[in-house]
Amino acid sequence: MNDLVAKTNDATVITLQGELDVNNVEDLKTVIESELSDGTGKILIDLNKVTYMDSAALGVLVAGLKRARLSNAQFKLANVKGNVENIFKLTRLTKFFEIYNSVDSAMESF
């Protein structure tokens, strides 16, 4: 998994790609925790290029959101679609996260 962390004045965008599962989920956890520890107040996870996600990866996003809330940071998702959308719907986590159809619309919401 190659993470791409792009920081602008407005927010940190973490662009994920490929298949996220229990095997590479520690990388994702490290990236998110690192951004939250840096005091980033606005985090956007772009899932546009993610083709598959299991519950371990989903768990890391849930943990990220919970931790962000504790530090009054905003934690949003963009481009939840296809198989990725399926697992969010199956677990009813669509209502737990703020989800946007594009990075642009998510950025405007911060």
Residues 6 or more apart in contact with residue 23 via CB below 8 angstroms:
none
Interface map 39-68 toward another protein (x if CB under 8 A): -------------x-xxx-xxx-xx--x--
Quote the distance between the C-alpha of residue 78 and its chain's center: 8
**Among the candidate windows 7-15, 30-38, 87-95, 99-107, which touches another protein by CB under 8 A?**
87-95
Exactly one of 90, 102, 105, 108 binds another protein (CB under 8 A); that residue is: 90
85 sits near another protein (criterion: CB under 8 A): no
Q: Which stretch binds another protein (CB under 8 A): 35-43, 71-79, 92-100, 102-110?
A: 92-100
List Cβ neighbours of 46 (8 Å cut-off, separation of 6 or more): 13, 14, 15, 16, 78, 79, 103
User: Parallel, antiparallel, or unpaired for β 42-53 and 74-78?
Assistant: parallel
Instruction: Indicate the helix (H) or strand (E) that contains 3.
Output: none
Binding site residues, another protein, CB under 8 A: 19, 21-23, 52, 54-56, 58-60, 62-63, 66, 83, 86-87, 90-93, 96
